[in-house]
Amino acid sequence: MKRHEVLNWASSFLTKKGREPLAGELLLRHVLGDMSRTELLLGLDEELLPKQQEVFEAAVQKHGDGVPVQYIIGFEEFYGRRFSVNKEVLIPRPETEELVYEVLQRSMMRFPGIEEIQTVDVGTGSGAIAITLALENSRFSVTTIDIAEESLEVAKKNAENLEASVRFIHGDLLQPLIKGGEKADIVVSNPPYIPDREIMELETIVKDQEPFRALSGGEDGYVFYRRFMEELPLVLNKQSIVAFEVGHDQGQTVAEMLRVTFPGSVVSVVKDISQKERMVIAEIGFK
């Protein structure tokens, strides 16, 4: 079959399965050797080799059964870079790129004269946040923490592939820094924040495929934010930034938590490109 024929088949098949039909294009580009979209479109009349067609059809079937495209092809793009992903890590989302952007912008305003900004990413998963921060700003000295060794292995591989200098620690939230007496200028996190009762309502492609530990925010979705309020005061420097990603309806609650924990701080609830409140930023100790 020609490329346009298998794409038409994939689009129809995935639509019937309730999946995004354009996923077929991503899968075909991968099967053809990570071909660019332009190259694919210029050669739509070219025939696939029998083995290529077999592999492509199997990949489409797998996605139709609920496996995310990113787990099939083995990567996701984040901030212009390719990050390896598997079932041990949450797939990086576009809104998290906006969290990274906010941290980069505010650090330039708040720490203009500091040569080394001690930055901590909690719950690193694939390492997308930590690695991007380290590569985008050479002044960032980045430490990242995750409770899952399996996730850390993925993140370490990504750091190696992208030549990023990041320190990895296996541990629970900020406990390793507290025990070591370490301080931070910036703490950033995209913690699990989905209430347990809502996880079962998610699409099967998420709830049945991505790691539960990266989704579950406890009974009400705030368990990790409450723990942060206990631990952050023990590690933050007098002048510091805290940046969280939150659920679309959690921004005001998390912002109030930060205001109570850090009286006098400037706390902002920031909307993403879809106009949903998805980030909460606290700037602490600045005049």
Tell me if 65 is assigned to a ligand binding site: no
Kindly report the average pLDDT of the chain as a whole number. 92
The answer to whether 193 is annotated as binding is: yes
CB 186 within 8 A of CB 243: yes
Interhelix angle 251-261/223-231, rounded to 10 degrees, is 20
Among 187, 188, 185, 189, residue whose Cα is nearest residue 116: 185
Q: Please, what is the end-to-end C-alpha distance for the chain in angstroms?
A: 66
Query: 70: exposed, middle or buried (C-beta count within 10 Å: 0-12, 13-18, 19+)?
Result: buried
Strands (E), 71-183: 75-78, 81-84, 117-122, 140-146, 166-170
Please report the pLDDT score of residue 207 as a whole number: 59
216, pLDDT greater than 90: no
Residue 189 among known ligand-binding residues: no
Lowest mean pLDDT segment, chosen from 64-68, 189-193, 210-214, 217-221: 210-214
Exposure class string for 145-169: b at 16+ Cβ within 10 A, else e: bbebeebbebbbebbeebebebebb
The answer on whether 191 is annotated among ligand-binding residues is yes
Return the amino acid letter for 64. Answer: G
Higher pLDDT, 218 or 154: 154
Q: Which two tokens stand for residue 125?
A: 């998963």
pLDDT for the residue numbered 88: 87
Q: What percent of the chain has pLDDT over 90?
A: 81
pLDDT tops 60 at residue 141: yes
- Which pLDDT score, from 0 to 100, does residue 161 have? 97
Q: Find out whether 192 is annotated in a ligand binding site.
A: yes
Q: What is the 8-class DSSP label of residue 194?
A: B
Tens digit of each residue's pLDDT (9 = 90 or more) over 230-272: 999 999 999 999 999 999 899 999 999 999 999 999 999 999 9
For tokens 């900020």, the residue is 174
Is 195 annotated in some ligand binding site?
no
Q: Residue 208 above 60 pLDDT?
A: no
Instruction: Kindly tell me if the per-residue pLDDT of 90 is higher than 60.
Output: yes
The CATH code belonging to domain 3-73 is 1.10.8
The whole model's pTM is what?
Answer: 0.89
Amino acid, res. 79: Y
- Does 190 count as an annotated binding residue? yes
Annotated domain spans of the chain: 3-73, 88-284
CATH of domain 88-284: 3.40.50.150
152-169 per-position pLDDT tens digit: 999 999 999 999 999 999
Residue 124 assigned as binding residue: yes
Q: What is the rounded distance in angstroms from the CA atom of residue 46 to the CA atom of residue 61?
A: 22
Grade residue 77 by pLDDT with cuts at 50, 70 and 90: very high
Q: In this predicted structure, what is the pLDDT of residue 110? A: 96
Rounded distance between C-alpha atoms, residue 281 and residue 252, angstroms: 11
